[in-house]
């Protein structure tokens, strides 16, 4: 199945990504040669369009059944399409590229609900997922072919619709001799295990649990909205994790589930953080110690996943961190202490921007959709078979 035939030896696409951290839209302008697992990609330019506080709050409202409704979801779907379109246009302009030089846009969209398993009490609900940011709006505003809405296709063949980045991780970071764990720390943490000489058949991946989500919400609450994140982990560095509270957090049943597994704000969102903060207040934990505990929670969930769920299946020599968490020095130091036998590094150390990685991968996913190539990794998502993920909107 070939949807699109490029007449050039290489194409230029823009990958758009906005994750559960709700920082904004990341746009990666990339040049791609070849296709499938033999693709070669070069990052030409990285651009980010931050969300302002009001938009971030509006999206958070959509992510909660208590504050969301069909009118808001419907309207915000179109609005977010405009936001993604503007990010793509601005990225191309900053890259110094004209309209005719961009071949396609590929957008992950903004997740507002992810339901990898259906509720047991309603036969009309199926496993499903919802990312907003209307593709037709992006295509019409930019004038470029636009690909997106990847996750439903994987779910339609029995997968959880996530994680999707292992496909790109294998292309970008597979190594013939070194076992690598690709750990993205966005709002949620997700990892891809690449054994030495990895193939699509032996790659596996899953969500490790909260990434920056609980840290960010904790900082936002403790500062009454004056700070939205702990820059470089400076606040956490002033505190000491409360070991009893940390143990309670780590007792959550999600961490004992075997992969494939995925999670999001549905499980570790504002309500979860509010309960954590109430428990910390009951124990009289100081603000710095609370932030340190939240940071240690993320570090331990990642390290535990590596030691208990990954290393029994394959050798891991290097842990390569990307996403916003790669800039949190305290979190990175905690990971190093918890995984002393593994080399901890960032994607940037290997030549790919820590912040751009996922946007680059969604450009790859969109390109392979256009080529008609299966672009999921069943071993990572639990899908019954490889399939072509994505939908197309014409300009």
Residues annotated within a binding site: 19-26
E strands present in 297-341: 318-322
Torsion of CA 177, 30, 132, 380, to 10 degrees: -10
Other C-beta atoms closer than 10 Å to the C-beta of 200 total 18
- For residue 358, the surrounding DSSP H or E stretch is helix 357-371
Q: For residue 62, which of 202, 241, 270, 240 has the smallest C-alpha distance?
A: 270
How far is 356 from 366, CA to CA, in rounded Å?
16
The whole-angstrom distance between residue 104's C-alpha and the CA centroid of its chain comes to 21
- The secondary structure of residue 119, as a DSSP letter, is -
CA distances, 118 to each of 154, 307, 382 (Å): 15, 30, 15
Shortest CA distance to 213 belongs to which of 249, 257, 251?
249
Which residues belong to the annotated binding site for ATP?
A: 19-26
What is the token pair recorded at 283? 């124990």
Q: How far is CA 249 from CA 71, 299, 307, in A?
A: 36, 12, 18
């Amino acid at each position: 199945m070939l949807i699109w035939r490029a007449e050039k030896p290489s194409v230029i696409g823009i990958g758009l990504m906005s994750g559960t951290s709700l920082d904004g839209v990341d746009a990666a302008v990339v040049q791609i040669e070849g296709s499938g697992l033999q693709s070669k990609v070069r990052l030409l330019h990285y651009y980010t369009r931050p969300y302002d506080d009001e938009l971030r709050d509006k999206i958070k409202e959509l992510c909660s059944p208590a504050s969301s409704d069909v009118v808001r979801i419907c309207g915000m779907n179109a609005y977010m399409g405009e936001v993604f379109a503007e990010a793509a246009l601005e990225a191309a302009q900053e890259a110094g590229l004209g309209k005719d030089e961009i071949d396609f846009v590929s957008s992950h969209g903004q997740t507002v609900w992810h339901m990898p398993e259906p509720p047991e009490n309603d036969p009309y609900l199926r496993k499903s997922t919802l990312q907003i940011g209307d593709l037709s709006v992006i295509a019409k505003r930019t004038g470029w072919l636009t690909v997106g809405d990847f996750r439903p296709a994987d779910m339609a063949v029995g997968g959880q619709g996530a994680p999707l980045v292992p496909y790109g991780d294998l292309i970008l970071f597979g190594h013939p001799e070194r076992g690598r764990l690709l750990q993205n720390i966005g709002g949620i943490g997700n990892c891809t295990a690449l054994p030495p000489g990895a193939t699509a058949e032996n790659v596996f991946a899953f969500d490790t649990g909260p990434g920056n989500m609980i840290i960010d919400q904790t900082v936002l609450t403790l500062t009454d909205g004056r700070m939205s994140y702990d820059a470089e982990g400076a606040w956490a560095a002033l505190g000491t994790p409360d070991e009893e509270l940390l143990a309670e957090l780590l007792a959550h049943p999600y961490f004992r589930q075997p992969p494939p597994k995925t999670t999001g704000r549905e499980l570790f969102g504002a309500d979860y953080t509010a309960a954590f903060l109430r428990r910390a207040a009951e124990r009289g934990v100081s603000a710095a110690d609370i932030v340190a505990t939240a940071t240690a929670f993320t570090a331990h969930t990642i390290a535990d996943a590596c030691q208990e769920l990954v290393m029994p299946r394959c050798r891991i020599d290097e842990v390569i961190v990307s996403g916003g968490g790669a800039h949190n020095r305290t979190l990175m130091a905690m990971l190093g202490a918890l995984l002393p036998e593994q080399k901890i590094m960032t994607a940037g150390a290997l030549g790919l921007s820590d912040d751009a990685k996922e946007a680059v991968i969604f450009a790859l996913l969109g390109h392979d959709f256009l080529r008609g190539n299966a672009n999921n990794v069943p071993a990572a998502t639990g899908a019954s078979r490889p399939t072509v993920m994505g939908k197309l909107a014409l300009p």
